[in-house]
Amino acid sequence: MKDISRLIRPSIRKLVPYSSARDEYTGTAAVFLDANENPFNSPYNRYPDPHQKLLKQKIGGLKGVAEERIFAGNGSDEAIDLLFRVFCEPGRDNVVSIDPTYGMYSVCAGINNVEFRKVPLGPGFELDTAALEAACDGHTKMVFICSPNNPTSNSFDPGEIMSMAERLDIIVVVDEAYIEFSRRVSLVKRVGELSNLVILQTFSKAWALAGIRLGVAIADPAVVEILTRVKYPYNVNMLTQNFALEALENTESVQGWIGLILEQRALLERKLKKFRFVEKVYTSDANFLLVKVNQPKKIYNYLVEKQIIVRDRSNIELCEGSLRITVGSSGENENLLDYLMQYQRDFVDSCEI
């Protein structure tokens, strides 16, 4: 196993974390007078469990990993930010990632004054691990790979990612926000093989819980311990913890939702390909489609007028001319398709007459 302690910022390595009242006493009692809480409005007057023990036990059982390997955060964005704060010395270190990809990696780099190095994907959105490794130097602390990737919607070979992580002596972060929709397998069960591997997952997509803001980082216990040391004491609130515990009993419904989204994704892909203004629908491993079209801004604005909102990705490198379309319900997708048909009649067919 790799020694990751040398990668941690010296100031963070020496940090003595804040100790909350719920850190110092974790049992049950008849009267709690230790945290300066208001005695009224139970149970919301009490601070939540700062370590989310019950939630981590449930998530660990669901994903087949030990709870000491789980960091729970306010969305996976919190874990992304904490990774920068833990491992990257501002103004000195750098991080390497693919391009295009999820924008929060570069945002967190900017916030933390860390150089962000972009390595372009291939013309078919292929992963170039040799180029990623070549972009690393003595001040590189992390590599970020989003798989399935946003906005390109494709997954990368997990074996190829693992081989790269084995060769690198830095943190390799694999963001699996869309993994439930992918043909590829998750790397979660393989975190025990490499201490420098961090897997990010979220409950915002397949679990339909974007509104409660819950994400996890699954990693070596030493990584989880240092993230926990740096996080705010009560980063996952009581409402989120309780709601998530209830939702985690609902696995059958979630599997049903995933199945319906995959069916609708295939149907939407087939129907979009029939429009004459559509140049390409990229193969997707996510709950969205990247669609290359003629005049993307005109189509985007037309749909906005019809109160249908998609994402214009036409200004992103390698995604020129493309719209990102989330797979909705059957009714939402039919609504979209109906207006696109109307757009074709009004603006495409009329120009061909």
Task: State the CATH number of the domain containing residue 231.
Answer: 3.40.640.10
pLDDT reading at 85 higher than 60: yes
The CATH number for 286's domain is 3.90.1150.10
Q: Judge whether 44 lies within some domain.
A: no
Within a domain: 115 = yes
Residue 137 structure tokens:
């130097």
Per residue in 235-268, pLDDT tens?
A: 999 999 999 999 999 999 999 999 999 999 999 9
Tell me the two tokens of residue 251: 């696995």
- Picking from 234, 249, 264, the residue at the C-terminal end of a domain is 249
172 and 211: one domain? yes
Structural domain includes residue 180: yes
Is residue 35, in this structure, part of any structural domain at all?
no
343 and 232 in a single domain? The answer is no
Examine the domain organization and report whether 229 and 296 are in the same domain: no
The 10 Å CB-count burial string (b at 16+, else e) for 264-284 is bbeebbebbeebebbeebbeb
Structural domain for 97, as ranges? 5-16+50-249
Task: Note the pLDDT tens digit of each residue in 65-78.
Answer: 999 999 999 999 99
Amino acid identity at 326: T
Within this chain, do residues 100 and 188 fall inside the same structural domain, yes or no?
A: yes
Both 267 and 217 in one domain: the answer is: no
Look at the chain and count its residues. 353
Identify whether 24 is part of a domain: no
319 and 177 within one domain? no
Does residue 70 belong to any structural domain of this protein?
yes
Per-residue pLDDT of 274-305, as tens digits, reads 999 999 999 999 999 999 999 999 999 999 99
pLDDT, averaged across the chain:
96
Establish if 96 belongs to a structural domain.
yes
Residue 290: predicted pLDDT: 98
Strands 288-293 and 215-218: unpaired
Domain count, the chain: 2
CA distance 217 to 79: 6
Is there a single domain that holds both residue 154 and residue 267? no
Residue 188 lies in a domain: yes
The pLDDT, as a whole number, for residue 278 is: 98
Helix, strand counts (H, E) of the chain: 13, 11
State whether 125 and 64 are in the same domain: yes
Q: Pick from 249, 274, 298: which residue ends a domain?
A: 249
pLDDT category, 113, cuts 50, 70, 90?
A: very high
- Examine the domain organization and report whether 200 and 85 are in the same domain: yes
User: Is the same domain home to 283 and 327?
Assistant: yes
Q: What is the Rg, in whole angstroms, of the alpha carbon atoms belonging to the chain?
A: 22
Q: Give the separation between CA 96 and CA 168, rounded to whole angstroms.
A: 12
135 with 216, same domain: the answer is: yes
Phi, psi of 144 (to 5 degrees): -110, 130
Contact 289, 271 (CB under 8 A): no
Q: Give alpha helix (H) positions in the chain.
A: 10-13, 21-24, 53-63, 76-87, 104-111, 129-134, 158-167, 221-230, 238-247, 251-272, 296-305, 330-343, 350-352
Burial of residue 251 (CB within 10 Å: 0-12, 13-18, 19+) is exposed
Q: Give yes or no: residues 60 and 152 share one domain.
A: yes
Residue 26: the pLDDT is: 86
Please choose, from the candidates 290, 345, 281, the residue with its C-alpha nearest in 3D space to the C-alpha of residue 323.
Answer: 290
Q: Burial letters for 57-83: b for 16+ Cβ neighbours within 10 Å, e otherwise?
A: ebbbeebebebebbbbbbbbbbbbbbb
Domain end marker among 249, 273, 307: 249
